[in-house]
Amino acid sequence: MELENVKKTVGNDHDEPKINYRGWKAMPFIIGNETFEKLGAVGTLANLLIYLTSVFNMKNITAATIINIFNGTANFGTMIGAYLCDTYFGRYNTLGFATVASFLVLASALEQRVSVIKFYIGYHF
């Protein structure tokens, strides 16, 4: 009799929390994010090609080679980041570092832009 009670107690799975996946509710946001990220990357690469051929006076084949190297390096960088994230740093530490780094780069770019605008306005007025 006691053996049956022990089996019932051990085999009881009603106490385990049920995992609730978001599923398709989050999928449009993920697809939208990736779509606009790729649009931005392709637009940047097209502008980089024009910049390299017009400002640096490179041949089209040389500019295309540089763009392919840049694109391949950027895509390979995500694999390196994923490896480091999974192996050493963890998901949240890596996301936190990337967020802070992106913010600092954006802030430095905006600071340069504002100083140029101030110089331009002060110079003409």
pLDDT of 24 above 80: no
Helices (H), the chain: 2-10, 27-54, 60-84, 91-124
Q: Are 83 and 96 in contact (CB under 8 A)?
A: no
Domain that holds residue 77: 24-89
Tell me: do 74 and 105 sit in the same domain: no
Which long-range contacts does 25-34 make (Cβ < 8 Å, 24+ apart)?
none
pLDDT of 12 above 90: no
Structural domain count of the chain: 2
User: Residue 116: inside a domain, yes or no?
Assistant: yes
User: Residue 8: inside a domain, yes or no?
Assistant: no
Tell me: do 80 and 124 sit in the same domain: no
Tell me: do 38 and 53 sit in the same domain: yes
- Torsion angle defined by CA atoms of residues 21, 23, 29 and 34, in that order, rounded to the nearest 10 degrees: 100
Percent of the chain exceeding pLDDT 90 equals: 27
User: Residue 42: inside a domain, yes or no?
Assistant: yes
Percent of the chain exceeding pLDDT 70 equals: 78
Q: Higher pLDDT residue, 56 or 111?
A: 56
Mean pLDDT confidence for 24-52: 88
User: Residue 34: inside a domain, yes or no?
Assistant: yes
Confidence at 108, pLDDT banded by 50, 70, 90: confident
pLDDT of 23 above 60: yes
Two tokens, residue 113: 């832009």
Tell me: do 72 and 108 sit in the same domain: no
pLDDT digits (tens, 9 = 90+) for 48-99: 999 999 999 999 999 999 999 999 998 898 898 889 888 998 888 888 998 8
pTM above 0.75, yes or no: no
